[in-house]
Chain A
Amino acid sequence: MSVRGLAGLAVFVAALLVPALGSRFYTFLANDVIIWALFATSLNLLVGYTGLVSFGHAAYFGVGAYVTGILMKKLAVPFVLAWPAAGVVGAACALVFGFFCVRLTRIYFAMLTLAFAQIVWAICFKWNELTGGEQGMPEIPYPDFGWIERIGASVPLLGGWRTAEYFYFLCTVLVAASLWALHRIVTSPFGRMLTTIRENAERAEFIGVNVQRYELAAFVLAGTFAGLAGGLFGIFNRGVFPDFAYWTKSSEVLIMTLLGGMGTFFGPSIGALVLILLNQQIVSYTEYWPLVLGTVLVVLLFGFPGGLAGAVGALSGRLLRRVRSA
């Protein structure tokens, strides 16, 4: 196993240990972070790997949240089916919207993704019967953890956790699996082709690649994983609201991606971690969170253009060189 693989495994194990710290708040924070990490990584498949800037990625997150939420709350469908459904419907929406979007370039592409996302938001906001309108759909049930508690009664460590903690373990495993799948995708020949398209779409076209088809495939995959993240988030959040699909959510996830660094696979996850922790700390002291966030972004832009992951990478590179030369 490579060093990176080991590092990933270490993070995964560390994440699993969070509830053992005994603080419900840390578990809450960690759960928030890992779901946003998946959401941001799914966006990075578009922004970082394919070079397509989406202003409307929250649409698929929102759709996923509603799909899982409606299935579990209104139709009592078990999580095992309701969660994958979020990915399937997210993918379907991404296929329809993406079909139109990938025919556009750059800022027009971004604006069309925004338009579709806002239409999704408006539907969620207005369709009272299905989505609960702007009041959203509270009280999404947790998945059934009765079986694990029954097993846990005889196996040490497995039993005796709170429902929210079981859900956190579940999220950690599912997010890790999703990230692993995403990593496989970006390192596959398909993923490398996406990078080629980002670097030079004309050349890719020239060597006979159907660029739009590749872009659409990336769009659908990104929508799938955003939908899966949304499906988890609705349950974690104890409710699904139309603002999940609003453009401010799209900008939030884009900021995470850029903050962490879109050039690396784990950059967006780091961005999610940093942004959520920073928000946590700042709002305890001041209501002027936007001011602080804006300042942080400006400093980052001028100080660390590669994002946090890029900054860490550069720093460790420099340290390594120094160690070697010494």
Chain B
Amino acid sequence: MIEGAIWRRWVFSNLPLILFVVVLLFPFYWMIITTFRPDGELYRPWNAANNMPFWTNKPTLEHIYYLFEETNFARWMFNTMLIAAASTLISLFCGVLAGYALARLNFPWAGSLGTLIFITYLVPQTLLFIPLAEIIRDFRLGDTPWSLILTYPTFLIPFCTWLMMGYFKAIPKELEECARIDGASRLKAMIYIIIPVAVPGILSSGIIAFTLSWNEFIYALVFLSSPDQKTVAVGVTSELIRGDVFFWGSLMAGALLGSIPVAIVYSFFVEHYVSGLTGSVKG
């Protein structure tokens, strides 16, 4: 596509790309550098002569120590992990079954049910959080991990179902018919033949569901109240800000450590993540 001299390629392609990458990654660099800076260096006014924002010569772990010694950070991480894993598993289970039914079975209203699921896919959490908080209280689930484990699937299942429908539709019908001719029941054909073939799709939806539930905020903010029940995002927001005082060092340390599990999962499954993301868009 790009013809001509080397300088043209640099000016029109490489430089803008480098600029994009730098801007997109800078906040993470800022997170990291803040985490390891002593307070004395952090709180230098923006125009102070000795301000050297991009590097530090005296890296410190005090903010990370503070996080683990003075707050429930380890507990928040555990809560978040548990909630994300459990809600992902529930959503995968429901999504795979529902996706299979909608993609493969003939039954009345199959089309309209599919549309209904697509519409729930589009319902934002912020539309329902107040009545949902009431319902969670009525069910006596408030301030427990269950309040999130059971409500996160509401936005994960539609997504998983939608993605799995696409994967199931792409598997040739003949594969299943062969098993049926050999005498397998419908259910067995699904469990032993079709689902194993759809494993890449299940991985994709699982990873995206995991990152989505790790990312969720407003339900966790509203449904949880005691410090040891909180998720990372809510804990960092509520416990590291006292009135108007922000503990920036520990805040950034919390943000950094709270992002690492997602980043690790993502780095292992980038290709699955991307194919899931683009698959969900193609619909």
Q: Do they bind each other?
A: no
Residues of A near any B CB (own CB < 8 A): none
Chain B positions near chain A (C-beta within 8 angstroms): none
